[in-house]
Amino acid sequence: MDKKVFATRAISAIVFGVIMLAGLLWNQYSFIVLTAIICGGCLWEYFGIISTLQTYPEEKKKTFRIISTIVGLIAFLFFAIPAYNVFLTGYFVLAVPLLFLMFSLEFFSGDKRSFQNTALNLLGIFYISIPLGLLHLLLFFQSNVHWDWFPGNANSVLGLLILIWANDTFAYIIGSMIGKNKLFPSISPKKTWEGFFCGMVMSLIVAWLLSIWLTTLRLQDWMVIAIIASVIGTIGDLFESMLKRNLNIKDSGSIMPGHGGFLDRFDAFIFCIPFVFAYLFLK
């Protein structure tokens, strides 16, 4: 890799890491602001990507992109905000009627092929808004319905991010060095089975270290989350790669120099959240 490109990627990653840690661990307000920015960025990129598949008139595409992003953020907030006040815990059910209201957007599109447009809009909400909203409810339930749950109960989110990073990093390094058997070459030619399994092994090792450092979860919990980070995180990465390949684009955006956009950075994380939520909620 070119030294200049490497330096750009490294600086970008450091700045990204500092912002993520500050937003995650400072307090509950910084966390909701951080996740709202991530949600809005991912939604904006998603609706920009799929606009080529939608049949809106060209002059209306940007308007519908803005409206869809706003609706997605509102859906996210209906899931996230109840986590900050026990008296608001029932308001997340309003997210479902909100999703149904998205059908009415097509009344103003002036297009006869509205089913495809609606399906793509709703996919963005289920793909991005709901998982990031569940992240707040996850911490809320972990705190035993106690309002001031930072920073200790944010450990599960911090640990998940670390495990995804460990999996991605070592899967890429080992896959580049010894990878020969392609995972899904039609979707992501660079991913290999060797890299996948090495990434999983490293995630399990890091999970063991996390169980010593972040004791709010048990060793077996971290091990399960490590497997989720490896398997489901890889699926999330492949899903976004499939989306980009089908639309013939390299990156979802350019918010992080050398790394791509919001979706490029959070595709695995978004996919993992519902599975971690289900495991920790039901265990």
- pLDDT, tens digit, for every residue of 81-100? 766 655 555 566 666 777 77
pLDDT higher than threshold 50 for residue 71: yes
Tell me, yes or no, whether 171 and 67 share the same domain: no
123 lies in the same domain as 167: no
In a domain, 18, yes or no: no
- Alpha-helical runs (H) found in the chain: 3-25, 28-49, 58-80, 95-101, 114-124, 130-142, 155-178, 193-213, 219-246, 262-282
Asked if 282 and 165 sit in the same domain, the reply is: yes
SS3 call for 189: strand
Q: Which of 150, 185, 211 is the last residue of a domain?
A: 150
**Residue 146: per-residue pLDDT:** 45
Rounded CA-CA distance 129/98 in Å is 12
Q: Which tops the pLDDT comparison, 176 or 111?
A: 176
- Rounded to whole angstroms, the Cα distance separating 32 from 133 reads 9
The predicted structure's pLDDT at residue 6: 52
221 and 187 in one domain? Answer: yes
Within a domain: 4: no
Is residue 52 domain-shared with residue 135, that is, in the same domain? yes
Is residue 189 located within the same domain as residue 216? yes
Are 187 and 222 within one domain? yes
Whether residue 274 is contained in a domain is answered as: yes
Can you give the residue range of the structural domain that contains 256?
Answer: 151-283
Q: 10 Å Cβ neighbour count for 45?
A: 23
- pLDDT at residue 147, rounded to an integer: 43
Shared-domain flag, residues 51 and 176 = no
The rounded radius of gyration (Å) of the Cα atoms in the chain is 19
Q: What's the pLDDT band for 239 if we cut at 50, 70, 90?
A: very high
Q: Are residues 76 and 204 in the same domain?
A: no
Question: What whole-number distance in Å separates Cα of residue 134 and Cα of residue 146?
Answer: 17
Query: Does residue 16 form part of some domain?
Result: no
Among 42-46, 255-259, 278-282, the range of highest mean pLDDT: 42-46
Query: According to the model, what pLDDT value does residue 149 have?
Result: 46
| Identity of residue 139 | L
The continuous run of DSSP H or E covering 190 comes out as strand 188-192
Half-sphere exposure at residue 234, Cβ-oriented, CA atoms within 13 angstroms: 26
* Residue of 154, 134, 27 whose CA lies nearest to 77: 134
Total tally of structural domains belonging to the chain: 2
158 with 176, same domain? yes
Judged against a pLDDT cut of 70, whether residue 142 lies above it is answered with: no
Instruction: Tell me the HSE value of 258 on the side-chain side, using a 13 A CA sphere.
Output: 16
Average pLDDT estimate for 64-80: 88
Phi-psi group of 258: left, alpha or beta (phi > 0 → left; psi -120 to 50 → alpha; rest → beta): left
Pairing of strands 182-184, 188-192: antiparallel
**Domain co-membership, 280 together with 155:** yes
Same domain, 108 and 155: no
Q: Are 124 and 43 in contact (CB under 8 A)?
A: yes
- Tell me, yes or no, whether 9 lies in a domain: no
Decide which of 130, 150, 170 is a domain's last residue.
150
- Residue 224 above 80 pLDDT? yes
- Of 91, 116, 150, the last residue of a domain is 150
